[in-house]
Amino acid sequence: MVCAALEGVAATVFLPALMSLLLGVVPDRELGSVLLTVLAGVIAGVAYPNVEGIFYLLGAGGVAAAVFVMLIPAETIKHKRARQAVVTVESITVDSTPSITGAVDGEGGSDAPRQRAAAAASHTRYSRYSELFRSRGIVALLTFMYHLSNAGVTPLVTQLIAHEDERTGLVFTSAVLCIFYFVQAPTAYLVGRYCERVGYKPLLLVAHLILPVRCTTVALLAMYRPNQYLLAATQVFEGLGAGIYDTLLPLVVKRLVQGTGRFGFTFGFIISCWRLGHGLSLLLGESISQASSYEIAFFTLGGLGLLVTALLALCVHVPPAKAVEDQREITQEVAAEAQIPTRH
């Protein structure tokens, strides 16, 4: 229980920090997860039943990740962009009328327009924390409900697989995760590339609809064809859904908090709701499976998935996906045209 609590604290801190770092630097983060999962599966298959090597591997992966983060040059991180702190440029104007000396202000005459523009270019407004929950609480609720209905499925699937063959259970558990990552990575890439064209809400609806389809498929397999390979193959659904949802969540939060400078705090709160929903989903799924059957547990989680989909479709306003230009870049362009200095 102590380890689980520490894991929850670490995840709540790590994911917002990672997303902020990606916003400030960039790119992909799926390959490492796949490699670690493949290695864990190989170790489990070779060393069974002595599988403590898996935990050493995961610990070593965490240490390596920490070292690589420390190696990122500080100057490559754009901290204001990482916090989604938008530079306000309400009135950058340069007076083009000639002064008494015959010079145009901004070209050698009065420095007042330059000073006003430079001040506007360097000003950043940070919202109060209390302001963040007025329009974003529904996203936190949606995240909680999504993971409440989703997180308990995979552990139940791995339990079903393990019942077929105890020795290959750990290997198939690794395969389940590998399938998930291999599907999630290209899905995340495609979503990131085309989300502005399609829109956030339609893609989120697809991700939510995948959940009841997945649960129904697994439940029917558990009832009529509990085959290890077929059960593992259902992870394609989770890879698709997670590839869409996990990619869009930081993008939606980014759009919601744009200009507040509180991306890390807001995303951290939403991740806390994610972890809470995840834990309760595990408890719910296990409780139902023990009280009745795996099939009932899958149908229950799928029903929750339908409820969340209806909530998203009817009650949740998702911001448009149209790209919004970075205000700092706009400021610098205006300042460059006016030949005024800006501070970075």
CATH code of the domain in which 271 resides: 1.20.1250.20
Could you tell me which residues are beta bridge partners of residue 156? none
Comparison of pLDDT for 12 and 68, the residue scoring more? 68
- Tell me phi and psi for residue 84, to 5 degrees: 60, 45
In a domain, 98, yes or no: no
In a domain, 229, yes or no: yes
Write the CA distances from 304 to 149, 208, 260, integer angstroms: 5, 10, 33
In a domain, 291, yes or no: yes
pLDDT score recorded for residue 267: 77
Residues 107-126, mean pLDDT to the nearest whole number: 46
Nearest to 118 by CA among 336, 337, 335: 335
pLDDT score recorded for residue 317: 79
pLDDT score recorded for residue 295: 93
DSSP H helices, the chain, are 2-24, 31-47, 53-70, 79-82, 112-121, 137-150, 153-164, 166-198, 200-224, 228-233, 235-257, 263-291, 294-315, 327-337
pTM of the model: 0.64
b/e map of 208-243 (b: 16 or more CB within 10 Å)?
Answer: bbbbbebbebbbebbeeeeebeebbebbbbbbbbbb
Statement: residue 313 has pLDDT above 50: yes
Query: What amino acid occupies position 233?
Result: A
How many DSSP H helices and E strands does the chain contain? 14, 0
In a domain, 161, yes or no: yes
Please classify residue 280 by burial: count the beta carbons closer than 10 Å to its beta carbon, then call 0-12 exposed, 13-18 middle and 19+ buried: middle
Please classify residue 132 by burial: count the beta carbons closer than 10 Å to its beta carbon, then call 0-12 exposed, 13-18 middle and 19+ buried: middle
The span from the CA of 341 to the CA of 121, in Å, is 9
Write the CA distances from 41 to 30, 34, 187, 199, 247, integer angstroms: 17, 11, 23, 37, 26
In a domain, 205, yes or no: yes
pLDDT tens-digit map of 42-85? 444 445 445 565 566 667 766 776 676 676 666 655 555 544 44
The span from the CA of 156 to the CA of 159, in Å, is 5
pLDDT score recorded for residue 327: 44
The gap from C-alpha 5 to its chain's centroid, in whole angstroms, comes to 21
Statement: residue 90 has pLDDT above 80: no
Statement: residue 221 has pLDDT above 50: yes
DSSP conformation class of 338:
T
Write the CA distances from 29 to 18, 32, 33, 331, integer angstroms: 10, 7, 8, 32
What is the residue range of 231's domain?
2-75+126-315
In a domain, 81, yes or no: no
Residue 213 tokens, joined: 């389809």
Total of domains in the chain: 1
3-state secondary structure (DSSP) of residue 135? coil
Residue found by looking up tokens 């795996």 in the block = 294
Statement: residue 110 has pLDDT above 50: no
Residues 135-154, mean pLDDT to the nearest whole number: 83
In a domain, 341, yes or no: no
pLDDT score recorded for residue 143: 87
Statement: residue 29 has pLDDT above 50: no
In a domain, 339, yes or no: no
